[in-house]
Amino acid sequence: MEIKRFEKSHLVLLRKDIQKELESIGEKYGIVLNLGSIKFDDFSFSGKIEARIFRDAKEVEKEDRKEFEELCSIAGLKPFDYNRAFTSNGKVYRVCGISPRARKYPVVAVNDKGRKYKFEPSVVVFNAV
């Protein structure tokens, strides 16, 4: 098929082919590649390619815990506070990290849906479950 002008239907087909090739390249290098949104006009199109390093969940957990243990004293916490549950505004969160450059909200916590939030250390200490 020869394309004279780009139409939405062409981009649907092109996206499938491009994504298939990106997956092949990603496998070769051990990364995840995705084609983001595409903008187009009659004679050109552009899209954003996003790349992530694939990491095993257990490996990520181990690295996060080690980093927390190294940085927890910055926020006045102890190594055993990692994965500690606490409540804020009636919702339960678990401590999952420290953001050393965030002076006011250095504690990183995750909710039950996996979304991360930042908190003051006092919220964790005084609202432990």
* Domain positions in the chain: 8-53, 57-126
Structure-block tokens of residue 39: 């903008």
Residue 40 CA to residue 49 CA, distance in Å, equals 15
Distance of CA 67 to the CA centre of its chain: 17
Residue 129 CA to residue 125 CA, distance in Å, equals 10
pLDDT by residue (tens digit) across 8-25?
Answer: 999 999 999 999 999 999
pLDDT by residue (tens digit) across 43-70?
Answer: 999 999 999 887 777 887 888 899 999 9
Helix H or strand E segment including 121? helix 121-126
pLDDT of residue 59: 82
Provide DSSP, 104-120. S--EEEE-TTS-EEEE-
pTM attached to this predicted model = 0.58
